[in-house]
Amino acid sequence: MHPEITALYGARFGIAGILSEDFIDLYRQPEATLKAVARTPSSALGTSRREVGAAELAQALDVFRAHGIRYFFYNGGNGSMGTAHQIQAIASAAGYDLQVIGIPKTIDNDLLETDHTPGYASTARFFASAVRDIGADNRALPGQVEVIEILGRNVGWLAAATSLARAEPDDAPHLIYFPEQRLPLDRLLSDIERIFRRLNRCVVAVCEGQLDENGEPFGADVRSGSRGSLAMNLAHRLALLVMERLKIRARSEKPGLLGRACTACISDVDWKEARRCGNAAVSAAIRGETGKMVTLLRDSGAEYTMETGLIGLDRVAFLERPFPAEWRNQDGNDVLPQFRDYAAPLVGTIERHRMLVDAPVSKSLNILHTEES
Amino acid sequence: MHPEITALYGARFGIAGILSEDFIDLYRQPEATLKAVARTPSSALGTSRREVGAAELAQALDVFRAHGIRYFFYNGGNGSMGTAHQIQAIASAAGYDLQVIGIPKTIDNDLLETDHTPGYASTARFFASAVRDIGADNRALPGQVEVIEILGRNVGWLAAATSLARAEPDDAPHLIYFPEQRLPLDRLLSDIERIFRRLNRCVVAVCEGQLDENGEPFGADVRSGSRGSLAMNLAHRLALLVMERLKIRARSEKPGLLGRACTACISDVDWKEARRCGNAAVSAAIRGETGKMVTLLRDSGAEYTMETGLIGLDRVAFLERPFPAEWRNQDGNDVLPQFRDYAAPLVGTIERHRMLVDAPVSKSLNILHTEES
């Protein structure tokens, strides 16, 4: 470590911990603890959804001064990069020497200027595996529509990743929608009905933030918070509409926060890249960089390799990267193959479920096929 | 294999496949396929919720006669054991020589006469892991109540298993309820409020079949089917009630069918015992047994070992084993330690999440603690 760096503090619950001087001494953590915590989902330091204004920014600077904090690493999504950018600006205006480096970390994959963000690939792996497994259940007990709610308020990156569940064209998911596009209820229902009539089963991947043609969440219950309103039970609401309008048996599953916390579905590439981003942030700070975010830059070769880069925080702060329109099909209900090329190396292999080979036994009787109950 | 056994058929979609002579030749499956399928969740043959009457039972016997089927293995829960029992009775009455052996298989763990049922431990492992992981998320971003919906219409065996998520007393889940007992809404809310006031977080495990003091699902939407009615969105409904009545931020997660299909959470003991039950069924049939179900019998030693046994189908058919009242605490909101002794060897180790050690940094300023948003 750099000779002038004599302490490493972690802020409890993000910006809230900075404002209340709630720090934990990371140099006093046993090596084994740090190793184990690195394999633990969610933030070991805690996190926060707190929004900060001018008074809090000034207060943060006071805290940095009081503790002699000269290097500030902040990880998160575009909101956190916005806060980091503001802190860098206020420190600079006050003539306080502070190196501010942002470290990308969001399951939403919605930061600009980076190929992808740490956190995305593991959550993508969870949802792709979940859709594959629920798809196997739906195949074994057909006659039912499954609506699976995927994390994602505004962007369809995680919904898109469920496409990696498919080994064969008729595997789940049969329909994938993108919150970047409004989805008329009639179109959703006709899509579902078409698939169901053909396969007698249907798995739909839909984001928690999906809106209908009126910009409303299909009549779902809504919770309003500091980050805007969000449907609480969207997939359930859609399953109800399928039953009411199409008279088809339907249910919904909402793994919800398990998607971002599931220990069993960590992507190995994701885990390694998260560490690399942290390492790159420290190197950059020691080199004297400030006001930058670490980025991941994909090399152009056939094999998947990454470099890290740096970009100005102003280029990513409070900006959102939608799922690319050119990777959606024309009907807006599936991804195009380019997305698989992008995502598969990050997410890793989703092992296909094996099926029995088709070896029917000749019928001996002439039984009228009775209706499935 | 026994010399007189010249073919092995699998019925597609359970009893429905028998009635429509929809069989698949299992002797024509490559060894590699059988091995791979054994690691695949859900039924490779397909399953059915179809209920059968006298006409269908007679038809099943006609199909058996037409194909020369003399050994009938049926796996499932108490409903399937009931069907197997009826088929055995009708064959016997007709003087048709048929060996009928039931193989226990239900995630609900609600068959009588067996220590537990294959399928339970893996689903228990899923829900324990899910509650641990969502609990980590709730701890990292507190100020919120999490209601997690657990599979289980009538019995709390799976809800109870979420207790295995805890390494420390204040770990999630903080409350576990049992559908065997009605749960007054006021009691649920006061339980949640008490925990939340103390910890500023709370994770609740509640079964999809939980009913309130009026025998109703707390105002949740209900779907009626052949197996009775079931709430479709119980956890969501409870989260809404927490927000309305307690004015505490709340959300719900419903992993749903993923709980019984998740490839990543298979219990090794469960997997091995499922095969043992199948082997025991074949051995019993060849020995001339009929009208029996294979059971798992726990040896009394300190180390976990199992024997298989046999019990008359009449002793398990259509009967349900509730979660034992003596393994619930007095308040009906947690398990007692006896349950852990029972379940831990089946489910396997749920690795604890490691936390940072408490190494606070002294405060330098005298900042008034501002409210968490």
Residue corresponding to tokens 């105002």: B219
Q: Kindly report the length of chain B.
A: 373
Contact call for residues A180 and A153 (beta carbons, < 8 A): no
**Which pLDDT band, with edges at 50, 70 and 90, does A368 fall under?**
low
Say yes or no for a CB contact (<8 Å) between B236 and A239: no
Note whether A127 and A216 are same-domain residues. Answer: yes
The closest CB to that of B239, out of A16, A46, A232, belongs to A232
Note whether B43 and B81 are same-domain residues. Answer: yes
pLDDT of residue B49: 84
Note whether B96 and B238 are same-domain residues. Answer: no
Residue A83 lies in a domain: yes
Mean pLDDT of all residues in A134-144: 96
A214-250 pLDDT, tens digit per residue, is 999 999 999 988 778 899 999 999 999 999 999 999 9
Say yes or no for a CB contact (<8 Å) between A251 and B265: no
A268-288 pLDDT, tens digit per residue, is 999 999 999 999 999 999 999
Least trusted range by pLDDT, from A359-368, B37-46, B320-329, B331-340: A359-368
Please enumerate in sequence order all residues whose Cβ is within 8 A of that of A52, keeping only pairs 6 or more positions apart, or say none. A15, A19, A60, A83, A86
Structure tokens at B118: 């294959």
The closest CB to that of B253, out of A137, A139, A254, belongs to A254
A157-189 pLDDT, tens digit per residue, is 999 999 999 999 999 999 999 999 999 999 999
Contact call for residues B177 and B206 (beta carbons, < 8 A): yes
What residue in A sits closest to B40 (Cα-Cα)?
A: A353
Task: Answer yes or no: is pLDDT of B267 > 70.
Answer: yes
pLDDT of residue B224: 87
For chain A, what is the mean pLDDT?
A: 95
Amino acid at residue number A60: A
DSSP for B189-212, please give it: HHHHHHHHHHHSEEEEEEETT---
Note whether B197 and B66 are same-domain residues. Answer: no
B104-125 pLDDT, tens digit per residue, is 999 999 999 999 999 999 999 9
| Gap between the Cα atoms of B230 and B88, Å rounded | 31
Domain ranges, residue A154: 122-264+322-347
**Which pLDDT band, with edges at 50, 70 and 90, does A371 fall under?**
very low
**Which pLDDT band, with edges at 50, 70 and 90, does B50 fall under?**
confident
CATH number at residue A173: 3.40.50.460
For A133, phi then psi, to 5°, come to -70, -45
Considering the candidates A25, A62, A97, A108, report the single residue annotated as catalytic.
Answer: A108
CATH number at residue A17: 3.40.50.450
Segment (H or E) for B32: helix B31-37
The DSSP code for B263 is G
Note whether B243 and B190 are same-domain residues. Answer: yes
The closest CB to that of A357, out of B33, B221, B357, belongs to B33
Please enumerate in sequence order all residues whose Cβ is within 8 A of that of B197, keeping only pairs 6 or more positions apart, or say none. none
Within 8 A of B36 by CB-CB distance, chain A residues are 354
**Which pLDDT band, with edges at 50, 70 and 90, does B371 fall under?**
very low
pLDDT of residue A3: 72
Least trusted range by pLDDT, from A65-79, A325-339, B3-17, B259-273: B3-17
Mean pLDDT of all residues in A131-136: 98
Say yes or no for a CB contact (<8 Å) between B141 and A46: yes
| Gap between the Cα atoms of A111 and A105, Å rounded | 9
Residue A181 lies in a domain: yes
Task: Answer yes or no: is pLDDT of B77 > 60.
Answer: yes
Within 8 A of B55 by CB-CB distance, chain A residues are none
Contact call for residues B112 and B319 (beta carbons, < 8 A): yes
Question: How does strand B228-231 pair with strand B222-225?
Answer: antiparallel
For chain B, what is the mean pLDDT?
A: 95
Please enumerate in sequence order all residues whose Cβ is within 8 A of that of A192, keeping only pairs 6 or more positions apart, or say none. A145, A175, A202, A204, A242, A246, A248
Note whether B247 and B131 are same-domain residues. Answer: yes
What residue in A sits closest to B237 (Cα-Cα)?
A: A233
Q: What is the total count of domains within chain A?
A: 2
Mean pLDDT of all residues in B147-172: 97
| Gap between the Cα atoms of B87 and B131, Å rounded | 41
Please enumerate in sequence order all residues whose Cβ is within 8 A of that of B331, keeping only pairs 6 or more positions apart, or say none. B191
Residue B370 lies in a domain: no
Residue B171 lies in a domain: yes
The closest CB to that of B133, out of A16, A59, A261, belongs to A261
Note whether B237 and B282 are same-domain residues. Answer: no
Number of helical H runs and strand E runs in chain A: 11, 12
Note whether B231 and B157 are same-domain residues. Answer: yes
pLDDT of residue A21: 96
Cβ neighbours, 10 Å, residue A67: 18
- Compute the nearest-CA separation of B139 from chain A (Å): 7
What residue in B sits closest to A55 (Cα-Cα)?
A: B370
Residues of B noted as catalytic: 108
Residue A371 lies in a domain: no
Note whether A90 and A128 are same-domain residues. Answer: no
pLDDT of residue A367: 64
∠ CA A206-A211-A217, nearest 5°, is: 95
Residue A368 lies in a domain: no
Structure tokens at A325: 């329109």
Contact call for residues A263 and B129 (beta carbons, < 8 A): yes
Give, in order, the Cα–Cα distances in Å from A287 to each of A67, A280, B45: 22, 10, 61
pLDDT of residue A373: 40
Note whether A303 and A189 are same-domain residues. Answer: no
Mean pLDDT of all residues in A285-299: 97
Residue A358 lies in a domain: no
Question: How does strand A71-76 pair with strand A99-104?
Answer: parallel
Say yes or no for a CB contact (<8 Å) between B136 and A261: yes
pTM across the whole model: 0.96
Task: Answer yes or no: is pLDDT of A372 > 60.
Answer: no
Residue B355 lies in a domain: no
Note whether B231 and B327 are same-domain residues. Answer: yes
Sign for the pseudo-dihedral over CA of B169, B171, B175, B176: negative
Note whether A253 and A138 are same-domain residues. Answer: yes
Whether A170 sits among the annotated catalytic residues: the reply is no
Say yes or no for a CB contact (<8 Å) between A258 and B255: yes
Please enumerate in sequence order all residues whose Cβ is within 8 A of that of A101, keeping only pairs 6 or more positions apart, or say none. A71, A72, A73, A74, A84, A281, A282, A284, A285, A289, A290, A292, A293, A294
Task: Answer yes or no: is pLDDT of B365 > 90.
Answer: no
